[in-house]
Each structure stands twice: as structure tokens, then as C-alpha cells.
Amino acid sequence: MDTLVIVVIITALAFDFTNGFHDTANAMATSIATKALRPRVAVAISAVLNLVGAFLSVQVAKTISSGLVDDAQITPAVIFGGLVGAILWNLVTWLVGLPSSSSHALFGGLIGATWIAAGGDAVNFATVVTKVIIPAIASPIIAGAVAATGMFLLYTITRRAARRRTREGFRHGQVVSASLVSLAHGANDAQKTMGVITLVLITAGVLGVDSGPPLWVIFTSGLAIALGTYFGGWRIIRTVGHRLTKIEPQQGFAAETSAATVILASSHLGYPLSTTQVTSGAVIGSGVGKKLSEVKWGVAGRIAIAWGLTLPAAAAIGALAGRVAISGTAGVLIVAGVLVALATTFYLLSRRNKVDRHNVNDEPVSPPKPKPKPSVTSRYAR
């Protein structure tokens, strides 16, 4: 294998790692917020289920771009540029604690890199609209509607039940539904990395045309996403678990069950939706179903802006990285060096305001209000 192939495989596994820690919140943020599970236990369960999920199916791995770009135009350098765009956008959104779609970041990166390498004709814009943009708008609405309806019915049914036992019951249910989301996430998202690595191996002549992913590719992809999940994107977990709405076990159960159903139903019908958008929509829906005013719409608006920016931002970074990478091995190594430097910078910036398993459930601290100076009249009144 030549240097470029090895660099692309390592970069694909790095993307898989960021995909894991970026998306831990999808399954486990609500369970951590309601203290149904201790943070470390939650991410460990999610990591194991992501690894198991990676072995369940390889159907998605056979097409990495889902028809968004002309697969014949994809070269290892283009894939590398796309991966760099996706990784950097994942890191930026992680740093500011916003749950954005890793799949859309990968698609955006690939679109940008393909466009710069092969021209606009190589990008299927109609498919981008039907497979990315419309689902991005529809998926949180569908998940939110299901969660809001479920939450309303749930509260109506359990209004007169024993409070403590009810909370315990929904905590257990929440763990099961969150675990199902983790399994579905591993089954869907790990396959994208398998697809990337398999395609690179085919273009390098290591595998035959129409080959599926070899076992070592399945295992390393599953392991990378599981490790990323175990490290936990604590910043995004805090946003989804605490900053969108105040989550109780009943809400967590309704949100995760709705998310799991929407993800599984759409995957079964061959219409994959973003796990991140589905889960965020479900959490918001569970807040709406309980009490409309409990949703922090300012935070929800920031998340929606991040979703809107994901595709073009990752495409811009992917195009830039792809432009340098297609110039040859030296270009690839330069882009790899810049990627490592920027990733290190983001990590160091995150250390200034560290969020981890110890403080992920801390309430946001609001600045203290200044004490009003006693007025002349109040002084005389004393």
C-alpha cells in the first residue's frame, strides 16, 4: 500500500472516532441528565453497543456517497479532502457544544472535494436536495411530533401514579431505549467509514471491484467509533441533556423511544435520517409535549443554524483540503499536518473550559447580579 492509501485509512478512522464522540449525546445525553446511568457507565454501554452495531450489517458500506456525487470521480485524494472537511467541522461544533450531523459533515466534505477536483457536473444537486436538505428539515419535525405526542399521552396516563415508582420505572425504560439508539447508531454510522476505507482499497487495487469490507475494516471501524463514544463528547451531552430543556426520566424515555423508532423506521424503508437531528428533535418534542415554555428556543435556534451551516461549511473546508491534496503526496502530507495542528489547537482550547464526566450535570452558572446601592430614601427609612 502506498503512503496516500495509508494516510486516507488513518484519516477515515480519525473521522470515525470524532463521529463516535460527537454522537455519544444522541443516545446517552438524556440518561446522563436524568441520572438513570452514571456518566462513565452510560458511555461505556453506548461504546459496546456501537461496536456490536458495526457488525450487524454492511449494506450502507457499499455506497459511501449515496449518489450525491459521481462515484467514478472519487479518488483517494478527494476522499481525503472530504474527510478533513468533516473532521474539522465535527471538531468546531464539538468545541462550541452543538450537536450537528456527522453524516452531513462527511457528505459536505465529499461534495466540496469532488466539486473542486472534477467540477460541478460531478455533484448531483437534485440528490443533495432530496437526500440531505429535505430530510434535514423533516427529520427533527417528525421526531419532535412523535415525542410530543408520546409525552402528552404518557403524562396523561401516569398523572395519578405513585411519583417515586413512576420515575424509577421510566429510568429503566429510558436505559433500554437509549441502548437501542446506540445500537442503531453503530450499525449506520460505522458503515460509512467501512465504505470509505473499502473504496480506497478498491481504487488502490488491494481489493477487487464490488468487494465488501474485509473483517479487519469492519473491526477497526467499529473499534474507532466505540473508542470515540467512550471518550464521550461531554460538551454536546451537556447541551442536549441540560440546555435544550429540563429533562425528567419520563421525557428521556419518550425522547429516546421516539428517536429509536424514527431511526429504525427510516432505515428499514431505505431512507436514512441523521441520528443527531432525530434525537435533538425528539428532545425538543418531549419538552413541547410537557410544557411549551420549558424549551429553550434560543439554544434550539443555535442548533438549527449549525445544522444549516454543516453542509456548506464542511464542503468549503473539504474543497480547500481537496485542492491541496490532489496536487500529490506532498499536498496530502501538508493537509494532514494542518489537520493535526488544528485538532491539537481545538483540544487545547477545550481545556480552558473543561467539560467532562465530573461536571457534565452541573447547572449552568449565571453571573451574579450586582447588589443595588441603597438609595437616599431607603437610608432615611432605616
Partner 1 sequence: MNVPWGDLGTVLMAALFLGGGVIVLYAVGVRVLSPADADGESTGRPSPLRIAITSLCFAICGAAVGYGIYTLL
CB 246 within 8 Å of CB 294: yes
CB of 51 to partner 1, least distance (A): 14
Give whole-number Cα distances, 341 to 97, 211, 334, in Å.
21, 35, 11
Task: Note whether 257 binds partner 1 by CB under 8 A.
Answer: yes
Rounded distance, CA 254 to CA 154, Å?
8
Cβ(241)–Cβ(35) under 8 Å? no
Window of 12-20, 23-31, 51-59, 349-357 that interacts with partner 1 by CB under 8 A: 51-59
Grid cell of 368 as nine digits: 451574579
Report the nearest approach of partner 1 to the CB of residue 154 (Å): 4
Tell me whether residue 3 is exposed, middle or buried, using C-beta atoms within 10 angstroms of its C-beta: 0 to 12, 13 to 18, 19 or more: exposed
Q: Which of 9, 32, 61, 146 binds partner 1 (CB under 8 A)?
A: 146
| Of residues 301-330, those binding partner 1 (CB under 8 A) | none
Give the x/- contact pattern for partner 1 in 264-283, rule: CB under 8 A: xxxxxxxx-x----------
Q: Near partner 1 by CB under 8 A, which window of 90-98, 152-160, 303-311, 339-347? A: 152-160
299 HSE (CA, 13 A, CB side): 21
- For residues 214 and 379, give the distance between their C-alpha atoms in angstroms, rounded to a whole number: 81
Work out which of 3, 130, 293, 345 binds partner 1, going by CB under 8 A.
130
Judged by CB under 8 A, the stretch of 23-31, 38-46, 139-147, 208-216 that binds partner 1 is 139-147
Per CB under 8 A, the list member of 2, 121, 164, 215 interacting with partner 1 is 164
Helix (H, G, I), strand (E, B) or coil at 123: strand
Comparison of 18 and 177: residue with beta carbon closer to partner 1 = 177
Nearest approach, Cβ of 335 to partner 1 (angstroms)? 34
Question: Between residues 35 and 354, which has the closer beta carbon with respect to partner 1?
Answer: 35
Q: Quick check: 40 and 215 in contact, CB under 8 A?
A: no
Site residue total, partner 1 (CB under 8 A) = 52
According to the binding rule CB under 8 A, does residue 53 interact with partner 1? yes
How many helices (DSSP H) and strands (DSSP E) are in the chain?
A: 14, 0
As measured in angstroms, the least distance from the Cβ of 191 to partner 1 is 11
Pick the closest to residue 279 from 315, 231, 247 (CA basis): 247
**How many Cα atoms are found within 13 Å in the side-chain-facing hemisphere of 49?**
20
Residue 127: exposure state from Cβ atoms within 10 A (0-12, 13-18, ≥19)? middle
Q: Which is nearer to partner 1, 54 or 304 (CB)?
A: 54
**Using the rule CB under 8 A, which residue among 3, 57, 344, 359 binds partner 1?**
57
* Residue 91 beta carbon to partner 1: minimum distance, rounded to whole angstroms: 29
- Judge contact between 67 and 127, C-beta under 8 A: yes
**Residue number, 153 or 292, with CB nearest to partner 1:** 153
Interhelix angle 39-54/215-231, rounded to 10 degrees, is 160
Q: Is 341 in the site for partner 1 (CB under 8 A)?
A: no
**Which residues contact residue 272 at a Cβ distance below 8 angstroms, ignoring those fewer than 6 apart?**
60, 66, 103, 188, 266
**Quick count: other Cβ atoms within 10 Å of Cβ 381?**
8
Q: Does 145 bind partner 1 (CB under 8 A)?
A: yes
Question: For residues 166-195, which are near partner 1 according to CB under 8 A?
Answer: 166, 169-170, 173, 176-177, 180, 183-184, 187
Stretch that binds partner 1, among 99-107, 132-140, 208-216, 226-234 (CB under 8 A): 132-140
Residues near partner 1, by CB under 8 A: 53, 56-57, 126, 129-130, 134-135, 138, 142-143, 145-146, 149-151, 153-154, 157-158, 160-166, 169-170, 173, 176-177, 180, 183-184, 187, 253-254, 257-258, 260-262, 264-271, 273
